[in-house]
Structure 1
Amino acid sequence: MRNSLSLACLTLLLAPLSLLAAETKRPNIILIMADDIGYECFGCYGSKQYQTPNIDRMAAGGMRFTHCYSQPLCTPSRVKLMTGLVNARNYSAFSVLNRDQYTFGHLLKEAGYRNMIAGKWQLYGSDNYAQQFRAKGTLPGEAGFDQWCLWQVDKLGERYDGPLLNINGENKQFENSKYGPDICVDHILEFIDQKSDQPFFVYYPMILVHDPFVPTPDSKKRDRKAKQRNFEDMVAYMDKLVGKIVDHVEQSGLADNTLILFVGDNGTNAPIVSELNGEKIKGGKGKTTDAGMRVPLVGYWPGHIPADKTCDDLVDFSDFFPTFADFAGVALPGKVDGQTFQPQLLGKPGTPREWFYCYYNPRPEKTKPVRFVRDQRWKLYDDGRLIDVANDVLEKHPIADLDATPGAKEAHVKLAAALKSMPKEGATLLKYPTGPAVSAKK
């Protein structure tokens, strides 16, 4: 009897890894993350305003998630995404990834992957920030990446025309005829083409479509000042670059063993107004509403991810870390807040999240945290507000009487217990480590 139970327990523990083995060998992984764009800006999510044919093609040939949630701002999202931990545990300052943090770069490198990152870093504390934050964060090589082509590592500079980019530790100033996003993608394609017996991991936190809202190389007028129209051109160019990567993978014969994920890092910038299903949506970047946190997530891997599928399960940014561990076939190095969605990507039921927790305090030196727990419909803030988000997406009318709204009382009980189980204060509040970066497992 004891042996039977032990075997059953072992089978459960190894289930994610055996699921992967049944599907494929360890895949290459490409994670593309657009900057400052919510779910309302994509054709596959219903938009008729923006041109996103390549991402729409990925969704048609793969899986589109309807409930993926980031943090409301760039650095908090990146820290959560890369470490699998809620911000309360390891976020200390805007533009800083603490040096003691173990990232998915470390995880995959130790699993035998060769790693490359291109796009936007903003995790070291570059020279445009206050002195107390400069150089207090982590450099790309310290975060587990072998090669990189990045904007805003230790210097700021321009990001679009005539960019200043850090390429494998050296800052290079490009002429005005060169376009930063193009340079980053060229380095990604060169990395993919490098001969190796190792699988590869490419993390592409895009420069696009963050402000300034300026024309792209494909814009009809390169001196146009109209922010909304320039933004629409930037979305189209972002999609073009995503398509360039996907096409290159397919033309190189790597599509059968390459998982490609596309996601956004937070909501759209406030000056931008988009139309979706007849409704006007003002950009909500920096806010804890759906306009600030609900982002697109598309998974593409022909022959492995079922085509033209929609998944309504919750996905939190902390979930990417354990998902990559499952695809790489390795155990987690320690406790994380994330929950794998690998089975869902492969067309299996998995174990969907019942809720996710958000701790949002982007400037701990001067702001107070906002905390809440939510599921697909309900959202409970730590100040007691219960929101029926499905029917009040702008969060204008908190539920005043739990008994008067069907389902509200049950939702409150569940979410209150979840909120109580999570940390109230930032564990690293105003702590800026200056010691050596992490170099091994926790």
Structure 2
Amino acid sequence: MRIFASFAILCALATSLPAQAPTEKPAASPKQEKRPNIILIMADDIGYECFGCYGSKQYYTPNIDKMAATGMRFTHCYSQPLCTPSRVKLMTGLNNARNYSAFSVLNRDQYTFGHLLKEAGYRTMAAGKWQLYGADNYAKQFRAKGTLPGEAGFDEWCLWQVDKLGGRYDSPLLNINGENRQFPKTDYGPDICVDHILKFIDQKSDQPFFVYYPMILVHDPFVPTPDSKTRDRKLKQQNFEDMVAYMDKLVGKIVDHVAEKGLAENTLIMFVGDNGTNAPIVSDLEDVKIKGGKGKTTDAGMRVPLVVTWPGVVPADKVCGDLVDFSDFYPTLAGFAAANMPAEVDGHTFRPQLLGQPGTPREWIYCYYNPRPERAKPTRFVRDQRWKLYGDGSFYDLEDDVLEKYPIEDLSSVAGAQAAHDKLAAALKSQPSQGATLLQFPSGPAKMTKE
């Protein structure tokens, strides 16, 4: 049972508009008679503009492009603008107003999708980047106040930045099932994580498995990969492009391994980004230059790739324009796993769309963003595919103003603006306007080693 602080209990009483999609699990489809293995891959700091399947000719992403060709690609998936806020939302199915307390912290009382699938009978594994416990590089008030992987429902893990920082690429420091291990300079952190994922997949069991892979790539520092032709660490743009290619290579390694083991026809694989691309990076997309918008609430900071494949179940070469919010992964996974989902989840399932059905698409997405609540005020907005309304009243037509430079002052001056504004204003009013002040952290250290 999920436990909340008093502010979250009050926020959970807020109701959604009737137009929003339902949160309950849909009935089983004839196409899905058994529960699939599930692999959720999330790249770090990369927007939709960096993938061939989204129109890029600058980056080399053949494996993710192949996933799109054999599965479904979403054009309107939105994360939070920054890593920890996105992870908290993704893992709990709740918007940040309800349970976000501090950067690098996932409150210990949260019922994650690790718990959800483990209790549904899945073997669970996490690999890559954690950043949810409050490692020793953060302010003392936040250190060791968050959640360890084992406490979040994972049976096994191989993760960077659990209780200590250390290196992530060359000479990485990784926490493996509760023990920190320093690797030599010849070892590459992302490779080690994928090797542990493949070993986990190979374990013999009559249980389905859930792998959560929040990748270390392609976050800065922008340094050469094992495949880079040059070792010049100053070539940030080139190194980033090399990192994208290596990220794609590792995704392909997992997808190919699943196929080689004869598991492809019963494995759902999802690929998504955690927020927009880092600011120093500039990408060309269909003759438009897109500067990385990580940390911003614009499309450059929140619009991310989402590609899903499951041969024979998810329709091939399908593009879906429905809205997907990061809170939606939780109920979607619950539906595929036939898991008992908490009633207070904010997310709305997109499982029907993945099964080739129309579903009940969202009409809007709500974002509450305040990564440093101890020193800043939140930004709030509601949006759909075209229109966006902020809590301060700023209203934008993203079709003509994707950079949000020109708020609409006269609603009558733009066709459809008044109706869109009325809809989004009602949606914004229905959502919590206040979030956590500061987390009242539990006392005592958390348990480090896995049970």
Could you tell me the TM-score, scaled by structure 2's length? Answer: 0.93
Distance across 2 between alignment mates of 1:215 and 1:364? 35
Q: 1:185 aligns with which of 194, 197, 200?
A: 194
1: CA distance, partners of 2:433 / 2:344: 18
Q: How far 1:335 sits from its partner (Å)?
A: 1.3
CA 312–97 in structure 1, closer or farther in 2 if over 3 Å, else same: same
8 Å CA contact 1:213, 1:230 repeated in 2: yes
Which residue is equivalent to 1:376?
Answer: 385
Corresponding letter in the other structure for 2:133: Y
Q: How does 1:281-430 map to 2 (within 5 A)?
A: 281-426=290-435, 428-430=436-438
Counterpart in 1 of 2:122?
Answer: 113
Residue 451 of structure 2 is aligned to residue 433 of structure 1: no
Look up the match of 1:34.
43
RMSD of aligned Cα (Å): 1.4
Counterparts of 1:14 and 1:278, CA distance in 2: 42
Amino acid at match of 2:259: E
Secondary structure at 1:239's aligned position in 2?
helix
2:100 to 91, 98, 101: 91
Give the aligned residue type for 1:356: I
Tell me the distance in 1 between the aligned counterparts of 2:303 and 2:23. Answer: 32
- Post-superposition CA distance 1:379-414 (Å, at most 9, x none): 000111110011100001111110111000000100
- What displacement does 1:15 show? 7.1
Task: Tell me how far 1:14 sits from its aligned partner.
Answer: 8.4
Scaled by the length of structure 1, the TM-score of the pair is 0.94
2:53 is equivalent to residue 44 of structure 1: yes
Identity among equivalent positions (%) equals 79
Q: Secondary structure at the match of 1:418?
A: helix
Letter in 2 for 1:395: E
Q: CA deviation at 1:434?
A: 1.2
Post-superposition offset of 1:13? 10
CA distance 1:119–1:432, shift in 2 (3 Å): farther
CA deviations 1:42-87 (Å, max 9, x no partner) are: 0000000000000000000000000000000000000000000000
1:287-310 Cα deviation digits (max 9, x unpaired): 000000000000011100110000
**For the residues of structure 2 that align with 1:221 and 1:397, how far apart are their CA atoms?**
43
Rounded Cα–Cα distance in structure 2 between residues aligned with 1:420 and 1:140: 36
Partner of 2:221: 212
Residues in 1 aligned to 2:24 and 2:223: alpha-carbon distance in whole angstroms? 50
Q: Secondary structure at the match of 2:150?
A: helix
Separation in structure 1 between the aligned mates of residue 353 and residue 201 of structure 2, nearest angstrom? 26
- In structure 2, what is the equivalent of residue 3 of structure 1? none
Q: CA deviation at 1:189?
A: 0.1
Deviations 1:356-392 (A, max 9, x none): 1000000001111000000000000011111001110
| 2:14 match | none
- Would you say 1:146 and 2:155 are equivalent positions? yes
- Structure 1 position 431, deviation (Å): 1.2
**Are the counterparts in 2 of residues 75 and 96 from structure 1 also a CA contact under 8 Å?**
yes
- Which string of whole-angstrom CA distances, capped at 9 and with x for unpartnered residues, describes residues 107-161 of structure 1? 0000000000000000000000010000010000000000000000000000000
| Preserved CA contact (<8 Å) 1:326 1:342 | yes
CA distance in 2, matches of 1:15, 1:263: 22
Partner of 2:182: 173
- The DSSP-based 3-state class of the residue aligned with 1:23 is coil
Alignment-derived partner of residue 16 in structure 1: 26
Aligned mates of 1:112, 1:334 — CA distance in 2? 20
* Inter-partner Cα distance in structure 2 for 1:125 and 1:13: 31
1:6-48 alpha-carbon deviations (Å, 9 max, x no partner): xxxxxx99871322x6523000000000000000000000000
**Counterpart amino acid of 1:317?**
F
Aligned length: 425
Q: Deviations over 1:184-232 (max 9, x none)?
A: 0000000000000100000000000000000000001123421000000
CA, structure 1 residues 280+15, in 2 after alignment: closer, same or farther (shift >3 Å)? closer
AA aligned opposite 2:345: V
Can you give the 5+ residue segments of structure 1 that lack an aligned partner in the other structure? 1-11
Q: Distance in 1 between matches of 2:45 and 2:24?
A: 37
Separation in 2, partners of 1:291, 1:309: 24
* 2:140 aligned with 1:131: yes
Q: Could you tell me whether the CA contact under 8 Å between 1:359 and 1:370 is conserved in 2? A: yes
Supply the distance in 2 between the matched residues of 1:386 and 1:13 (Cα, whole angstroms): 28
Q: In the aligned structure 2, how far is the partner of 1:70 from the partner of 1:15?
A: 22
Match of 2:257 in 1: 248
The Cα offsets for residues 229-266 of structure 1, whole Å up to 9 and x where unpaired, read as 00000000000000000000000000010000000000
Q: Which amino acid aligns with 2:291?
A: K
> Residues of 2 paired with 1:44 and 1:336: CA distance?
31
CA spacing shift, 1:254–1:435, aligned 2, 3 Å = farther
Q: Which runs of 5+ in 2 are unaligned?
A: 1-21
